[in-house]
A and B are shown apart, each in its own frame.
Chain A
Amino acid sequence: MGQYLPILMLLVLAVVFAALSFFASRLLAPRRPTAAKSAPYECGIVPSREPPERFPVRFYLIAMIFIVFDIEIIFLYPYAVIHRELGGFGLVEMAVFVVAVFAAFVYLIANGALDWGPVKHLRRVDPRVSTSRTAATTVRRVGLEGREPETGEAA
């Protein structure tokens, strides 16, 4: 049983750390809410109903890119510690790894994953995908199912 004790302790520590950070932010952050501030969109229009919580999908992208670099660090740090012991083998392996990550990085930058600002269209929008927004939601209508072909709505 004793051999599992460190794992148990790690588990407890992880839970405690998460809980602590959560409460700490609550306690420490200044809270001076006004009606306009707590509205989901600061656009001047008073929302008529409780909106679903939304935030740009871009955040996910950033989070994922972060994880990639996180993993790179996790790999690189131990390697830096024992790179002598690993010798040539380690160097080659790391090179392979870094090349792969770098290639992904180039791809991300080239596709504008790190551009922050107004949405840039990567390519011309298919004319049959409506660029106008529907009345019901703010989401642009996409997809071709159930749509009359070539309605000319796009114009």
Chain B
Amino acid sequence: MTLGLLAQAGDGVAPIDTPGVAWSALSPILVLIGGAIVLLVVGALAPRRSRIGWHAMLTVAVAGGTIAAVVPLWDRVHDDGPYSAVASAVGVDGFSLFVTVVIAVAVAIAALLTDGYLRREGLEGPEPYVLMLLSAAGAVMMASANDLIVMFLGLEIMSIAVYVLAGLHLRRRRSGEAAVKYFVLGSFSSAFFLYGVALVYGATGSTNLVRIARFLAANTLADQGLLIAGFALLLVGFGFKVAAVPFHSWTPDVYQGSPSPIVAFMASGVKAGGFAGLLRVFVATFGTYRLDWQPVVYGIAVLSLVVGAVLAVVQTDVKRMLAYSSINHAGFILIGVQAATDEGVTAALFYLAAYTFMVAGAFGVVTVVGRRGDGHHHLDDYQGLARRQPLLALVFAIFLLAQAGVPLTSGFLAKFYVVEAAIEARSFWLALVAMVSAVVSAFLYLRIVLVMYAGAGDGADTDPAAGRPRLAVPAAAAIALVVAVAATIGIGLVPDPLTRTARDATPELVAASD
């Protein structure tokens, strides 16, 4: 910077020292943003309605392109090791690439669900897809940020797009309410995060994660107050994004109010971004100070597990139930974070990947059952679903049982790995709490399943199913559900590829070689 100023002072044209931009390293983000821009322009010029859902198709293609862009990077990381680009601001390692793929998958599934939803509600247009892609780009940025400022940038790009998405349904008051709530509280938490960034900068003299990690490893701080307070505030910001107790209060209201396919993305993609940032900053960067932050994450994990499970039981609205259960799942993933070991990170990544399919699929079914107006989310609306539409009920049951952690589904292994990591890290009590909460939340999932299968309940004379129209499952949503089911069962049966990949995907902070 000084160099630049000096150059300006003089008359000569001395080039400013600009960072080299390794476009290849940014290719996943570029594909997402480029796709969003193209979709925006083309979508604006073309008619909004069309019989073939090319908005959704294009979005899926962009998500596929993102994954395709990851492949060569993955190979390079595999062969030459992780590296960083753009003046060490962006890191390319197995971790960021893994999360990128998870987020891309979440976008693809959510886009497929959104198509049918928009048609049903008469809201067709490219905006939801554009926002989803931008939000995903932000989440990917969080996952690959090697600098706290970049991470904040990613956080905001991700969040602001999602705030708007929450209010997507213009004619539902709840949707607008959700958007406003999410926006106000989200901005509030972002402020905490930014303050945390400032404090960490004050303590370590850098916002670059690599330099911070080096600094913390090399120096012993005489006064840790600043740094520690920075930890706390950063944790508030991340805790809010991943919906961990006590920063969870927005979750049920926002999940309930937002359009269901958007919730599918929120619960999978946004959560993945938040956890990626958390793992990157805390486990990878502040790893040397883990004794300071571990107990606090431990506490948050316990609270999330317990509050999520217990509160979910008393809900009667399925979307709220799933919202609380997502808090419970956040607690499980936090167990992996808390372990602060490679096993813990692997387990958290596995969990995120498995959870993406489960939760996106579950909200996919909710989207379908919600019917026109997106308002049929009470438990009663699910009564006797198994008799009316056995296949849909079976699919939902699979997602719910997977979330409950029933063996032969991905959910079981996800929980298993996380708990294993906790025990390996000698957090026995946390493991016990996790298992107890799994038992409690199993009750909740079973409740929904039983309602679907139990049918008419006590009043056999009045069949509640009688007056209800058959639910239409749009073709795109059907594809999404089939994919999600296949992944949930497939990962449960043959987890090896995913486990192996997740094991290669621990975050490594490497300074730029250029």
Which residues of A are at the interface with B, using a C-beta cutoff of 8 A?
Answer: 82, 84-87, 89-90, 92, 99-100, 103-104, 106-107, 109-111, 122-123, 126, 129, 142-145
Contacts and interface: CB of A to CB of B under 8 A. Distances in A.
A122 B49 CA distance: 11
Interface of B: 4, 7-8, 13-16, 18-19, 21, 37, 40-41, 43-45, 48-49, 122, 124, 170-174, 373, 375
Contacts of B172: 143-145
Given A90-B18, A126-B171, A143-B173, A85 B44 contact: no
Contacts of B122: 123, 126
B18 A86 contact: yes
Contact of A85 (B14, B37, B43): B14
A129 B373 CA distance: 11
B16 A85 contact: yes
Nearest to B121: A126
Contact of A144 (B13, B49, B124, B375): B375
17 contacts: A84-B13, A85-B7, A85-B8, A85-B13, A85-B16, A86-B18, A89-B21, A92-B21, A100-B37, A103-B40, A106-B44, A107-B41, A110-B45, A111-B44, A123-B122, A144-B172, A144-B375
A114 B7 CA distance: 42
Contacts of A109: 44
A82 B18 CA distance: 13
A143 B374 CA distance: 11
Nearest to A81: B8
B232 to A, nearest CB: 28
A82 B8 contact: yes
Nearest to A109: B44
A120 to B, nearest CB: 14
Contacts of B19: 89
A143 B171 contact: yes
A87 B8 CA distance: 14
Most buried by B among A86, A104, A109, A143: A143
Contacts of A129: 171
A18 B254 CA distance: 38
Nearest to B126: A107
B15 A85 contact: yes
A144 B171 CA distance: 7
B179 to A, nearest CB: 14
Nearest to B373: A144
A104 B40 contact: yes
B176 to A, nearest CB: 9
Contacts of A100: 37
Nearest to A110: B44
Contacts of B18: 86-87, 89-90
Nearest to B130: A107
Contacts of A87: 15-16, 18
A110 B130 CA distance: 15
Contacts of B49: 123
Contacts of B13: 84-85
Nearest to A88: B18
Contacts of B41: 103, 106-107
A86 B14 CA distance: 9
A150 B50 CA distance: 25
Contact of A123 (B16, B21, B45, B48): B48
A106 B18 CA distance: 31
A67 B348 CA distance: 41
A85 B17 CA distance: 9
Nearest to A127: B122
A104 B7 CA distance: 35
B45 A86 contact: no
Contacts of A82: 4, 8, 16
Contacts of A103: 37, 40-41
Given A106-B44, A107-B44, 12 more contacts: A82-B8, A85-B13, A86-B16, A87-B18, A89-B18, A103-B37, A103-B40, A103-B41, A106-B40, A106-B45, A110-B45, A129-B171
A22 to B, nearest CB: 28
B7 to A, nearest CB: 6
B173 A145 contact: yes
A85 B9 CA distance: 12
Q: Which 4 A-B pairs have the closest CB atoms?
A: A110-B44, A89-B18, A107-B44, A144-B373
A84 B45 CA distance: 36
B4 A85 contact: yes
Question: Which of A87, A104, A107, A122 is packed against the most chain B CB atoms within 10 Å?
Answer: A107
Contact of B40 (A84, A107, A143): A107
Nearest to B175: A143
A110 B174 CA distance: 29
A83 to B, nearest CB: 10
A142 B175 CA distance: 13
B50 to A, nearest CB: 13
A89 B16 CA distance: 10
Nearest to B30: A96
